[in-house]
Amino acid sequence: TKKLIKTVTLATVIGTALGFTSITFAATEIKAAFNQSDKHPQYLALQDFGNKLTEQTEGRYKLAIYPNELLGDQRAALELVQSGAIQMAIVANPLVENYDKNFGVLALPYIYNGPSHQEAVFTSDLLDELFESTKRFGFEVLTAYTAGARSMYTKQAPVDNISDMKGKKVRVMQSDTMINMLSCMGGTGVPMSQGEVYSAIQQGVLDGAENNEITYADLKHYEVAPYYSTTSHVMVADLVVVSDDFMNSMSKEDRETLRTLAKGSTKTEFNIWNQRIEEAKKFAISNGATFTDVDVTPFQKSCQPLQEKLITNPQQQAMFQSIRALG
């Protein structure tokens, strides 16, 4: 203990001499909000990013992820990031679309040919400018993660074609594009946050919802809506957002390290995602879900005019074309 006291005293003396307080030696915590479980591919990818960040900043930063909506739903989480109350969050693209309509282009129905097309877009620099432009709202988008392809799932019977969707009330994420999308699929979109979906279907307020296989399985939605029909109608990104105040508090070097590592974590996330889909599907099936393959052509045709309707300025047009060109 004598030795320990000596060491501590010495550190304090040196620290004081250099003009530091002891706080300088403690890692700065980055609080990150996440709405799903700590087994989810995005949680794992973000955790890996956090470990690398701690390592590469020599312990100056430490990431703490709060899963399962502990810090609120995505809309609340984004507001916390925006105000600087927390530093980071993963939120679905529609939430950011509500700040800037140009984001809607990223999640148009059938804009990606499949996962590898989306991966090519998200690992390119095509979206960098758009992602930086949200600084005017007090946050920056660091990178995009995949959340697979979304399909319809319902309570009563599978969906084979557009006429099956008639009169169906289906939960969608809270944005114009998502509501419009449900109409072109033939049904009615009901905007709602993720946490309320299970009981809304159970109580009959909704006929179903639409989501990827992993979320469908993780949130046990098969219990209330056992018919999963692979319409694969849209691939909606999730965005890793960071508070602008926080970014400005970092040294230039650490900020660049954080940006590079975040961007790099997208590839990790895609890999984990692709490995997990089959497992999620099997899990849902073993718990009573039925998966039905759907001919997507009629849905694709029906949603084509939506692409034209929602692309209203030259920036969106240019982005749409560059995304398609990578397909």
Task: Tell me which residues touch ligand GCU (CB under 6 A).
Answer: 35, 74, 92, 147, 173, 194, 211, 215, 238
CB-nearer residue toward ligand GCU: 159 or 280: 280
250 burial (CB, 10 Å; 0-12 / 13-18 / 19+) is: middle
CB-nearer residue toward ligand GCU: 74 or 151: 74
CB-nearer residue toward ligand GCU: 211 or 229: 211
Considering the complex, what minimum distance in angstroms separates the CB of residue 35 from ligand GCU? 5
CB-nearer residue toward ligand GCU: 184 or 241: 241
Considering the complex, what minimum distance in angstroms separates the CB of residue 56 from ligand GCU? 27
CB-nearer residue toward ligand GCU: 82 or 174: 174
Considering the complex, what minimum distance in angstroms separates the CB of residue 72 from ligand GCU? 12
CB-nearer residue toward ligand GCU: 35 or 229: 35
Considering the complex, what minimum distance in angstroms separates the CB of residue 218 from ligand GCU? 8
CB atoms inside a 10 Å sphere around CB 247: 17
106, 234, 246: which is closest to 170 by C-alpha? Answer: 234
Considering the complex, what minimum distance in angstroms separates the CB of residue 276 from ligand GCU? 12
CB-nearer residue toward ligand GCU: 31 or 150: 150
Considering the complex, what minimum distance in angstroms separates the CB of residue 42 from ligand GCU? 7
By the 8 A CB rule, do 213 and 277 touch? yes
Considering the complex, what minimum distance in angstroms separates the CB of residue 308 from ligand GCU? 25
Sheet containing strand 290-293, strands side by side: 188-191, 169-172, 208-211, 150-154, 227-234, 290-293
CB-nearer residue toward ligand GCU: 250 or 277: 277
CB atoms inside a 10 Å sphere around CB 107: 25
Considering the complex, what minimum distance in angstroms separates the CB of residue 167 from ligand GCU? 22
